Amino acid sequence: MIGCEIEVDGTGVHVPEGASLLAAVRAAGAELPTLCSDDRLSPAGSCRTCLVRADGRTVAACVTPAASGVRVETATDDLRQLRRDAVAVIASALPSRALADDNPSELAHLCRSLGIGPEAAQGAGGRGGDDSHPYVHLDRDLCIACGRCVRMCAEVQGTFALTLVGRGADTVVAPGTGGAWVESDCVACGGCVDTCPTGAITEPGPARGLTSGILPQLPLGGAPTATARTPTTCGYCGVGCALEVAARDGEVAAVLPARDGPVNQGHACVKGRFAHGYLTSPERLTRPLLRRAGHLEPVGWDEALGHIARGLHAAVGAGGPDSVAAISSARATNEENYLVQKFMRVVIGTNNVDNCSRLCHSPSAAGLTASFGFSGGTDSFDDVERADCLLVVGANPVEAHPVVGARLLQRVLRGAKLVVADPRAVGLALHADVHLRPRPGTNVALFHGLARVLLAEGLADEEFLRERATGLPELTELLDDYPPDRVADITGVPAADLVAAARLYGRAERPAIVYGLGVTEHLHGTDGVRSLSNLAILRGAVGTDRGYGVNPLRGQNNVQGASDMGALPDFLPGYGKVTDTAVRSRAEAVWGVRVPPRPGLRIPDMFAAARARELRALWVIGEDVCATDPDANRVAQALDACPLVVCNELFLSETARHADVVLPVASWLEKDGTFVNFDRRFQRVRPAVPPPGEARCDFDAVHAVAAAMGADLGCATPASALAECGRLAPAFAGLSHDRLDRQGAIPWPCPDPDRQGEAKLHTESFATPDGRAHLAAAPYLPPGERPDDDYPLVMVTGRRWAHYNSGSMTRRGGNLALDPVDVLDLHPDDAIRYHVRNGAQVTVESRHGRARLIARVSEQTAPGQVFCSFHFPTSGVNRLTSDHADTVTSCPEYKVTAVRVATP
Ligand X SMILES: Nc1nc2c(c(=O)[nH]1)N[C@H]1C(S)=C(S)[C@@H](COP(=O)(O)OP(=O)(O)OC[C@H]3O[C@@H](n4cnc5c(=O)[nH]c(N)nc54)[C@H](O)[C@@H]3O)O[C@H]1N2
Q: Which is nearer to ligand X, 767 or 794 (CB)?
A: 794
Q: Which is nearer to ligand X, 240 or 747 (CB)?
A: 240
Q: Which is nearer to Mo ion, 316 or 360 (CB)?
A: 360
Residue 17 burial (C-beta neighbours within 10 Å; 0-12, 13-18, 19+): exposed
Q: How far is the CB of 476 from ligand X (least distance, A)?
A: 24
Q: How far is the CB of 425 from ligand X (least distance, A)?
A: 9
Pairwise CA distance, residues 312 & 290, whole Å: 15
Verify binding: residue 235, Mo ion, rule CB under 5 A. Answer: no
Least Cα distance to 341 among 560, 584, 618, 567 occurs for 567
Q: Which is nearer to Mo ion, 335 or 629 (CB)?
A: 629
Partner from ligand X, Mo ion, none contacting 329, C-beta within 5 to 8 A by type: ligand X
Pairwise CA distance, residues 562 & 337, whole Å: 6
CA distances 875 to 632, 693, 835, 881, Å, are 12, 31, 21, 13
Least Cα distance to 267 among 187, 182, 172, 174 occurs for 187
Q: How far is the CB of 14 from ligand X (least distance, A)?
A: 43
What's the count of helices (H) and strands (E) in the chain, helices before strands?
28, 38
Q: Rounded to a whole number, what is the largest CA-CA distance in the chain?
A: 91
Q: Which is nearer to ligand X, 60 or 239 (CB)?
A: 239
Partner from ligand X, Mo ion, none contacting 894, C-beta within 5 to 8 A by type: ligand X
**Contact yes or no for 72/53 (Cβ under 8 A):** yes
The distance of Cα 797 from the centroid of its chain, to the nearest Å, equals 18
Partner from ligand X, Mo ion, none contacting 798, C-beta within 5 to 8 A by type: ligand X
At residue 648's C-alpha, the angle toward residues 644 and 653, to 5°, is 90
Partner from ligand X, Mo ion, none contacting 424, C-beta within 5 to 8 A by type: ligand X
Q: Which is nearer to ligand X, 380 or 808 (CB)?
A: 808
Partner from ligand X, Mo ion, none contacting 362, C-beta within 5 to 8 A by type: none
Verify binding: residue 518, Mo ion, rule CB under 5 A. Answer: no
The 3-state DSSP class for residue 583 equals helix
The reply to whether omega before 262 is within 30° of 0 (cis) is no
Q: What DSSP element (H or E) covers 537? A: helix 525-539
Q: How far is the CB of 807 from ligand X (least distance, A)?
A: 7
User: Which residue number places its CB atom closest to ligand X?
Assistant: 555
Pairwise CA distance, residues 173 & 329, whole Å: 43
Q: How far is the CB of 567 from ligand X (least distance, A)?
A: 13
At residue 218's C-alpha, the angle toward residues 213 and 223, to 5°, is 160
Partner from Mo ion, ligand X, none contacting 875, C-beta within 5 to 8 A by type: none
Q: How far is the CB of 770 from ligand X (least distance, A)?
A: 30
At residue 41's C-alpha, the angle toward residues 40 and 46, to 5°, is 140
Amino acid at 809: M
Q: How far is the CB of 771 from Mo ion (least distance, A)?
A: 31
Q: Which residues contact 3 (CB under 8 A, 6 or more apart)?
A: 14, 15, 16, 17, 19
Q: How far is the CB of 329 from ligand X (least distance, A)?
A: 5
Q: How far is the CB of 576 from Mo ion (least distance, A)?
A: 24
Partner from Mo ion, ligand X, none contacting 622, C-beta within 5 to 8 A by type: ligand X
Q: Which of 262, 363, 555, 747 binds Mo ion (CB under 5 A)?
A: 555
Half-sphere exposure of 491 (CA within 13 A, CB side): 29
Starting at the edge strand found earlier in the chain, the sheet holding 681-685 runs 673-676, 681-685, 746-747
Partner from Mo ion, ligand X, none contacting 331, C-beta within 5 to 8 A by type: ligand X
Q: How far is the CB of 541 from ligand X (least distance, A)?
A: 19
Least Cα distance to 554 among 390, 722, 381, 418 occurs for 381
Dihedral of the alpha carbons of 263, 269, 272, 274, in degrees to the nearest 10: 150
Q: Which is nearer to ligand X, 123 or 782 (CB)?
A: 782
Partner from Mo ion, ligand X, none contacting 551, C-beta within 5 to 8 A by type: none
How many other β-carbons are positioned within 10 Å of the β-carbon of residue 755? 9
Q: Which is nearer to ligand X, 202 or 806 (CB)?
A: 806
Starting at the edge strand found earlier in the chain, the sheet holding 295-298 runs 295-298, 289-292, 661-664, 644-649, 617-621, 324-328, 353-355
Q: How far is the CB of 657 from Mo ion (least distance, A)?
A: 22
Q: How far is the CB of 703 from ligand X (least distance, A)?
A: 14
Amino acid at 904: P
- Say how many residues touch Mo ion, by CB under 5 A: 2
Half-sphere exposure of 42 (CA within 13 A, CB side): 8
Listed ranges 387-395, 549-557, 861-869, 896-904: which one lies at the site for Mo ion (CB under 5 A): 549-557
Verify binding: residue 528, Mo ion, rule CB under 5 A. Answer: no
Partner from Mo ion, ligand X, none contacting 803, C-beta within 5 to 8 A by type: ligand X
Partner from Mo ion, ligand X, none contacting 877, C-beta within 5 to 8 A by type: ligand X
Residues that bind ligand X (CB under 6 A): 237, 329, 331-332, 356, 359-360, 393-397, 399-401, 421-424, 426, 438, 440-441, 443, 516-518, 521, 553, 555-556, 621-624, 628, 648-651, 653, 665, 667-668, 698, 796-799, 801, 803-806, 808-809, 870, 877-878, 881, 894-895
Q: Which is nearer to Mo ion, 74 or 556 (CB)?
A: 556
Q: Which is nearer to ligand X, 327 or 508 (CB)?
A: 327
**Contact yes or no for 150/164 (Cβ under 8 A):** yes
Q: How far is the CB of 472 from Mo ion (least distance, A)?
A: 33
Q: How far is the CB of 554 from Mo ion (least distance, A)?
A: 8
Q: Which is nearer to ligand X, 74 or 443 (CB)?
A: 443
Partner from ligand X, Mo ion, none contacting 680, C-beta within 5 to 8 A by type: none
Instruction: Output DSSP code: residue 691.
Output: P
Bridge partners, 254 (sequence order): 246
Pairwise CA distance, residues 210 & 197, whole Å: 12
Partner from ligand X, Mo ion, none contacting 341, C-beta within 5 to 8 A by type: none
Listed ranges 364-372, 446-454, 550-558, 839-847: which one lies at the site for Mo ion (CB under 5 A): 550-558
Q: Which is nearer to ligand X, 359 or 465 (CB)?
A: 359
Partner from Mo ion, ligand X, none contacting 648, C-beta within 5 to 8 A by type: ligand X
Q: Which is nearer to ligand X, 266 or 849 (CB)?
A: 849
Q: Which of 50, 146, 360, 647 binds Mo ion (CB under 5 A)?
A: 360
User: Which residue number places its CB atom closest to Mo ion?
Assistant: 555
The distance of Cα 489 from the centroid of its chain, to the nearest Å, equals 35
Instruction: Output DSSP code: residue 439.
Output: P
Q: Which is nearer to ligand X, 440 or 600 (CB)?
A: 440
Q: How far is the CB of 648 from ligand X (least distance, A)?
A: 4
Q: What are phi and psi of 546, to 5 degrees?
A: -95, 20
Q: Which is nearer to Mo ion, 46 or 560 (CB)?
A: 560
Three state DSSP letters for 309-364: HHHHHHHHHHHCHHHEEEEECCCCCHHHHHHHHHHHHHHHCCCCEEEHHHHCCHHH
Q: What DSSP element (H or E) covers 530? A: helix 525-539
Q: Which spans of this chain sit near Mo ion (rule: CB under 5 A)?
A: 360, 555
